[in-house]
Amino acid sequence: MTKTDFPPSILSRPTYGVLSPRPGPAHLLIADGAGAGAVLDLLGAADAGMAGGSHLIYLPGPDGTDRTAELAALALAQFHRAPSFAAALPRLRKVLGDAHMGVQIYLAGSEGLIGQAQREVMEAGLPHDAVQTEHRGSWVRRVQCVHCKGITENVATDPFLCSHCGLALFVRDHYSRRIAAFQGVNIDAEDPGSVPPPVEKFR
Amino acid sequence: MGLTFKDETFREDFTFFNSPAAIRRFPFPFPEDSYMYSVNMEPHVPGRPGSVFEKTFDVDEHYVAEMRERARVLAEDPLRCQSLPHMTLAGWDLLELIMEAKAREYPDWFSLQRDGNRWHWINRPLEIEQTFTFLDETTLPCGPMEYITRQTQGDFSLQDQRNDNLWMDAGMVTTQADWSLDFDLGMNFFEWHAPVPLAHEKQIFTRALKFLMNVQHGAPARRFNWTMTIDPLLDTSPENYPKWGPSRATLTPENVGRRMHLRVELQTFFRLPRSNALAFPIRCYLIRFEELATQPKWARRLHRVIRDLPDELAAYKGFLRNKPIMVDYLAQFDDGTPTSPGWWAD
Ligand code: HEM
C-alpha cells in the first residue's frame, strides 16, 4: 500500500505527503503498523549513510499490523519497538529534548500516531519544516468528545459511542493539532434517542 | 447616566428581555433585504450617539447580569478561558485597552488611576476595586485577560501574528455561537474557519486575513455576524449542546415570536501595542422576534433575509429545521413595501 488519497475536505483536516530522505546529522523516525512500509521505502531511497544516523521508534498499528522483524533487520543506529504510543512517550520526549538543530524527523503510519508525535515535536520547539509525514494503512481516527473532553482512539464508525461518557457522537473533519484529534459531537442532541445506525467510514 | 442594570437570567427561567430603549438601539445587522457572506469590514469609529457604536466597548443594561452569567459558566467549565504561555503580554495589552476606554468613556462607572506601574481600578457596577502592578501577574487574582474579560461583555479571543497568519492562542469564550475555544485554541485563521460553508470558495477568508494582518494600533475595525438562538441563551456552546439542543425541537407557531431570538455579534478588531497581537472582541446582542417586530422595517427585512437565505447557511447556523415556522411568523409583518437602505430603524 502506498500514499493514501483522502477525499477532499476542510482546511483544518491534516494532509500528508511522501517521506523522502533529507540531509541531516541525525534522523528520527516514528512509525506504527503499515507505516513500516514508508520507513522501508525511505531507507531504500536514501544513501547508505542514513541508517547509521537513524533512530526508529516503532509500534504495532491500530489494526494489529506489526512488521518489527523487517525493521529490526535494517540495522539502524537505534531501533526501539514500543507496545503503544503511551509506552513510547517518555523515550520520545527524551529524544526530542536531546535533539540538535538540523535533526530530520519522519512520521509514518496511522493518523493518530502521526498527530500525537507531531504534537510532541511542536511542544519540544523543533521547527515545523524539519518534519515530514506519510499516512499508511488504517484510516481509524482519534476523536475528542467536545462534551466530556475524553478521547476515543481508533474510531472506525460514524456515529460511535464516546468511550468515556457514552454519548453517540458524529465525527467531524474539524481537527485540532493541539489535541491531535478530530471533533466528536452528539448526534441526537436535538432529538434524543434517534441515533442512525453506525457506518464503517474509517477502516 | 440614567441606566439601570437589569437583574435577569440567561438560563433556566430566562427572564432576559430588552427595554424599549434597548430595542431602539439594537444593532440590526442587515443593510439590505438579502444576505450573503462578504468581507463586511469598516473602521470602528464612534457612531451615532446612543447607538452601540458610540463607545469603544458598549456597556448596556444587561452588563451586570451578563457578567454574573459568565462567572457561572466559568465555574462550571474553566476551559472556557485559556491562554497559551506566550500570550500573557497580549492579556495585559487588552486589560489596558479596556480599562482606559471604559474609564474615559464611562467615568461615572469606571475609573483608572495610573501612578507609574501602580494602577488603581474601580468598577462601580460590579463593586470591584483593585490596586495592582501593571505587568505583574502576581498582583491580580487571575491572569490579566481573565481579569478584565470577567468585567467586559462579549467573548474575546487574542491572536498572535506570525508566519503570515493569525493564531488563536488565547480567549475568553462563554457566549459563543456554537464553537469551542478549547478545540480551536492554537489554530490559525484558515483552520478555525474551516467549518464555514461557501466563504472559502469566495476567497473571503484570504481577503479578510490580509485585511486583519494590516490593522494598525489606534485604528480598530468592526463587522457584524449573526445567527438565531432559541430562548435568550448566551452559552450556546458545543460543550453544552446536549443540554440546549433539545429546545430546537420545541419551536411552534405559537411560541416562535417569544422564543426565537436574532443573535447579533458586533465583532471588533484591535491591534495591541506591546505584543502586536490582534484582539477580537465578539459582543453578542439578543432580541426576540416579538421585540424586533416593534420596528416595522426590521421585521419586513428580516422576513426577506430569512426566506431567501441559502439552506446551506441556515443549516450551518442551526435553524434549517425551524426556518418554515420562522418565515411564516415573519411574513405577517411584510406587506411588500420597500425598505429604506441601511440598517437604522425608520
Ligand atoms: C481574528 C479574527 C477572527 C476570529 C478569531 C474568528 C473566529 C471565528 C470562529 C471561531 C468562527 C466559527 C467557526 C466554526 O467553528 O464553525 C467564525 C465564523 C465565521 N467567520 Fe470569523 N473570525 C475572525 C475574523 C473574521 C473576519 C474578518 C471575517 C470576515 C469575512 C470572518 C468571517 C466569518 C464567517 C462568515 C463565519 C461564519 C459565521 C456564520 O455564518 O454564522 N471572520 N469566525
pLDDT tens, residue by residue, A144-157: 999 999 999 999 99
What percent of chain B lies above the pLDDT cut of 90?
A: 98
CA B283 to chain centre: 2
Task: Determine, yes or no, domain membership for B295.
Answer: yes
CA distance B248 to A117: 40
Q: Which of B186, B239, B248 sits opposite A177 (nearest CB)?
A: B186
What pLDDT does residue A123 have? Answer: 94
Task: Determine, yes or no, domain membership for B5.
Answer: no
* Structural domains of chain A, ranges and CATH numbers in brackets: 27-135 (3.40.50.80), 141-200 (no CATH)
What pLDDT does residue A60 have? Answer: 98
**Mean pLDDT value across residues A153-165:** 98
Band of residue A203 on the pLDDT scale cut at 50, 70, 90: confident
478588531: which residue's cell?
A: B269
User: Residue B3: pLDDT above 90?
Assistant: no
The pLDDT tens digits for B250-293 are: 999 999 999 999 999 999 999 999 999 999 999 999 999 999 99
CA distance B301 to B320: 19
The pLDDT tens digits for A15-50 are: 999 999 999 999 999 999 999 999 999 999 999 899
Q: Would you call B190 and A11 a contact, using CB atoms and an 8 Å cutoff? A: yes
Handedness of CA A92, A156, B320, B341 (dihedral sign): positive
CB A101 within 8 A of CB A26: no
Task: Determine, yes or no, domain membership for B345.
Answer: no
Task: Determine, yes or no, domain membership for B53.
Answer: yes
More confidently predicted of B8 and A129 = B8
CA distance A160 to A140: 12
**Mean pLDDT value across residues B149-178:** 98
Q: Which of A11, A167, A185 sits opposite B191 (nearest CB)?
A: A11
What percent of chain A lies above the pLDDT cut of 90?
A: 93
Residues of B identified as active-site: 223
Query: Nearest 10 degrees: CA dihedral of B284, B289, B290, B295?
Result: 80
Q: Is the pTM of this model over 0.90?
A: yes
Chain A residues touching B249 at Cβ < 8 A = 190-191
What pLDDT does residue B236 have? Answer: 98
What pLDDT does residue B113 have? Answer: 98
Task: Determine, yes or no, domain membership for B4.
Answer: no
User: Residue A182: pLDDT above 70?
Assistant: yes
Q: Would you call A189 and B241 a contact, using CB atoms and an 8 Å cutoff? A: yes
- Return the amino acid letter for B21: A
Chain A residues touching B195 at Cβ < 8 A = 10, 12, 172, 174
Task: Determine, yes or no, domain membership for B10.
Answer: no
Q: For residue B142, give the C-alpha cell.
A: 487571575
Residues 6+ apart with CB under 8 A from B273: B93, B217
As for how many domains chain B has, the answer is 1
CB A56 within 8 A of CB A80: yes
Show the domain range for B105: 22-331
Task: Determine, yes or no, domain membership for B336.
Answer: no
Average pLDDT of chain B, as a whole number: 97
Distance from CA of A47 to the nearest CA of B (A): 33
What pLDDT does residue A2 have? Answer: 54
Atom 24 of ligand 1, residue of closest alpha carbon:
B208
The pLDDT tens digits for B27-79 are: 999 999 999 999 999 999 999 999 999 999 999 999 999 999 999 999 999 99
Chain A residues touching B182 at Cβ < 8 A = 149
DSSP state of B177: B
**Mean pLDDT value across residues A75-85:** 97
What pLDDT does residue A7 have? Answer: 83
What percent of chain A lies above the pLDDT cut of 70?
A: 99
Task: Determine, yes or no, domain membership for B246.
Answer: yes
The pLDDT tens digits for B105-153 are: 999 999 999 999 999 999 999 999 999 999 999 999 999 999 999 999 9
**Mean pLDDT value across residues A57-79:** 97
Q: Would you call B245 and A149 a contact, using CB atoms and an 8 Å cutoff? A: no
CB atoms inside a 10 Å sphere around CB A36: 26
R_g of chain A, CA atoms, integer Å: 18
Pairing of strands A160-161, A157-158: unpaired
